[in-house]
Amino acid sequence: MGSFEYFDHTADMGVRVQGKDLAELFTSSALGMFSLIAPLDQFKPQDAVDVLLKAENVEELLWSWLRELHYLFSTQKLVFKEFEYKELSEKVVWATCWGEYFDPEKHESEREVKAVTHHGFQVKKEKEGWKAEVIFDI
């Protein structure tokens, strides 16, 4: 299992992620973002959307991935919590994303995420796996 933790940024929120492989990195990054929006234990993995993205390198790919999931939340109010990867490399991600529609009458929320920023964005491959840092505009 990968993991994520938050770090401080004056007006916004940073997420530090690690995973032993790309799947853990991508999943933990997404969970880090959605946990900023709402407590995830309230959602069931009952609705699915397929996401297919290509990029020139792993930094661009992870950034596009978070941007895409954030867009799906912003327009369709889907909160994702489980991910099945059909294909995943440093240049391609093809995943089925499972989650539930956010209902303000039923679900508790934390805060709105305005955007995934490039500020301090980094992805690193180390001996024990992958690490990334992302700052979200709140």
Partner 1 sequence: MTTATISLRKIDECRWEIPTDYDPGMRVPGLIFADEKLLPKIRDDQSLKQVANVAHLPGIVRYSLAMPDIHWGYGFPIGGVAATDPDEGGVISPGGVGYDINCGVRLVRTSLRESDVKPRLRDLVQQLFNHIPCGVGQSGAIRVGCEEERKLLVQGARWSVNRGYGVPDDLEHTEAKGCLEGADPDVVSNRAYERGRDQLGTLGSGNHFSEVQVVDQIFDEEAARVLGLEKDQITIMIHSGSRGFGYQICDDFLEVTRRALQKYNITVPDIQLACTPVNSPEGQRYLGAMRAAANYAWNNRQCLMYLVREVFERFFGRSWQDLGMDLIYDVCHNIAKFERYKINGKEKMLCVHRKGATRAFPPGHPELPKNYQSIGQPVIIPGDMGRNSYVLVGTGKAMEETFGTSCHGAGRAMSRGAAVRDARGRSIERELEEKGIIVIGRGRKGVAEEQPSAYKDVNEVVDVVHRAGIAKRVARMRPIGVIKG
Strand, coil or helix: 121: coil
129 half-sphere exposure, CB direction, 13 A CA radius: 16
Cβ closest to partner 1, residue 108 vs residue 128: 108
Q: Is 46 in the site for partner 1 (CB under 8 A)?
A: no
Print the binding letters for residues 50-79 with partner 1: x by CB under 8 A, - otherwise: -----------------x---x--xx-x--
CA angle (27, 8, 134) in 5-degree steps:
35
* Closer of 7 and 92 to partner 1 (Cβ): 7
Report the amino acid identity of residue 1. M
Size of the site for partner 1 (CB under 8 A): 34
> Rounded to an integer, what distance in angstroms lies between the CA atom of residue 5 and that of residue 17?
7
Min dist. Cβ of residue 118 to partner 1 (A): 5
